[in-house]
Amino acid sequence: MTEYNATQSKYRDRCKDRIQRQLEITGRTTTNEELEEMLESGKLAVFTDDIKMDSQMTKQALNEIETRHNEIIKLESSIRELHDMFVDMAMLVESQGEMIDRIEYNVEHSVDYVERAVSDTKKAVKYQSKARRFDVATTNLIWPPRP
């Protein structure tokens, strides 16, 4: 019987040491009296409560991290879309700038073309007038007017 009591006492001490280590791992410090009380009452639920609380806190932290990650992905997508819009805008501005340069060039040269057309029209009117006179003179030479 004494051997049984000794074995039971050793087992109790090993359990006590194991509980002490586990409590230290979880960050709780206890005295020998508290350990004895826990063993006597069988209230070892401290571990499961802490584990449950840690598990809930971990799940909550994971949910917050996942939510934040999803928001960051949405933000990244929005930034990419905005970047693409700016690139498109830059390309439009560049192409319209070239078009405006061509329009400006054509407008500047159209003034010259109009001036040249005006002078050519005046010359044409003079040539036409001279040609009529020449036709009249030639006609008079070929067919003299009848008296």
Fold of 1-142: Methane Monooxygenase Hydroxylase; Chain G, domain 1 (1.20.58)
Widest distance between CA atoms in the chain: 175
More confident residue, 146 or 48: 146
pTM exceeding the 0.85 threshold for the entire prediction: no
Domain range summary for the chain, segments of one domain joined by +: 1-142
Residue 22: pLDDT above 90?
no
pLDDT of residue 88: 95
pLDDT of residue 72: 97
Helix ranges, the chain (H): 2-26, 32-41, 45-142
pLDDT of residue 1: 76
Count of CA atoms in the C-beta half-sphere (13 A) of 131: 6
More confident residue, 140 or 18: 18
Q: Phi-psi category of 52—alpha, beta or left, where left has phi over 0 and alpha has psi -120 to 50?
A: alpha
Query: Are the beta carbons of 15 and 39 closer than 8 angstroms?
Result: yes
pLDDT of residue 138: 76
pLDDT of residue 73: 97
User: CA-CA distance, 67 to 71, in Å (whole number)?
Assistant: 6
More confident residue, 20 or 6: 6
User: CA-CA distance, 44 to 52, in Å (whole number)?
Assistant: 13
pLDDT of residue 120: 93
Residues 6+ apart with CB under 8 A from 38: 19, 30, 44, 46
Residues 6+ apart with CB under 8 A from 121: none
